[in-house]
């Protein structure tokens, strides 16, 4: 798994619960180090082990932790780049939802060795969508739910999100866009200077 993903989990725990909790989780997961390098790769088995350890240390279920990781990824100032890169996907929330199918390809454009799980958007009746998330690490759908919740706010859309379970390694979210222009949302300046 790409270091960026592992590092995100590390940063989430450090920023939200303090370095001591992270150090404990790293020890529990059997890591021989405490710092993931964002630009290096790690064996795939590490990520689930780290997540299990984090859940143990925080005494919280994995789905909750992952949803919080998702929220953290698009709302914490450290990860402003992620929010901005996602905003390039569309001019409004439903446009953004349709760009999610391209998310793994967009991620690869940024970093050739960053492999994100496949996602597929299905559009149903007006404003109703389901998002099928491949979940090589159980709970990935919950992480996406955290991401979508923040992005909806970012676009100023009022949406209802639900995780409707998993089957065959695919987790499904249902998305109902109640009102596309519910609030002003956050501004997005295409050419903002970093």
Which residue in 62, 76, 84, 149 binds another protein (CB under 8 A)? 84
CA distance 89 to 98: 8
Which residue in 38, 46, 58, 170 binds another protein (CB under 8 A)? 38
| 110 vs 160, beta carbon nearer another protein | 110
CA distance 83 to 162: 21
| 109 vs 178, beta carbon nearer another protein | 109
CA distance 190 to 23: 38
Q: Which stretch binds another protein (CB under 8 A): 22-30, 85-93, 115-123, 148-156?
A: 85-93
**Minimum CB–partner distance for residue 114 and another protein (Å):** 9
Q: What are the residues whose beta carbons fall under 8 Å from the beta carbon of 167, sequence distance 6 or more?
A: none
| 112 vs 125, beta carbon nearer another protein | 112
Alpha-carbon distance values, 190 to 43, 86, 91, 107, 110 (Å): 36, 12, 11, 18, 17
Near another protein in 124-183, by CB under 8 A: none
Nearest Cα to 171, choosing from 130, 128, 135, 120?
Answer: 135
Which residue in 60, 88, 160, 164 binds another protein (CB under 8 A)? 88
**Minimum CB–partner distance for residue 111 and another protein (Å):** 5
Q: Which stretch binds another protein (CB under 8 A): 18-26, 34-42, 151-159, 173-181?
A: 34-42
State the pairing for strand pair 158-167/128-134: unpaired
Asked if residue 182 lies in contact with residue 156, where contact means CB atoms within 8 angstroms, the answer is: yes
Residues that bind another protein (CB under 8 A): 4, 37-40, 81, 84-85, 88, 90-91, 106, 109-111, 189-191, 193-194
């Amino acid at each position: 798994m790409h270091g960026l993903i592992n590092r995100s989990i590390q940063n989430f725990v450090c920023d939200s619960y303090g370095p001591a909790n992270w150090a404990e989780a790293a020890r529990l997961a059997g890591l021989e180090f405490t710092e993931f390098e964002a630009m290096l790769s790690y064996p795939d088995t590490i990520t689930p082990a780290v997540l299990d350890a984090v859940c143990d240390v925080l005494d919280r279920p994995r789905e909750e932790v992952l949803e919080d990781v998702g929220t953290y990824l698009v709302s914490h100032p450290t990860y402003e780049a992620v929010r901005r890169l996602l905003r390039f996907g569309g001019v409004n929330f439903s446009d953004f939802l349709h760009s999610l199918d391209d998310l793994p390809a967009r991620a690869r454009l940024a970093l050739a060795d960053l492999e994100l799980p496949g996602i597929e958007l299905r559009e149903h009746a007006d404003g109703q969508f389901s998002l099928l998330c491949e979940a090589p690490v159980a709970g990935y759908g919950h992480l996406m739910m955290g991401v979508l919740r923040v992005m909806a706010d970012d676009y100023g859309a009022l949406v209802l999100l639900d995780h409707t379970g998993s089957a065959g390694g695919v987790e499904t979210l249902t998305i109902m866009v109640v009102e596309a222009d519910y609030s002003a949302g956050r501004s997005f300046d295409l050419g903002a200077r970093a």
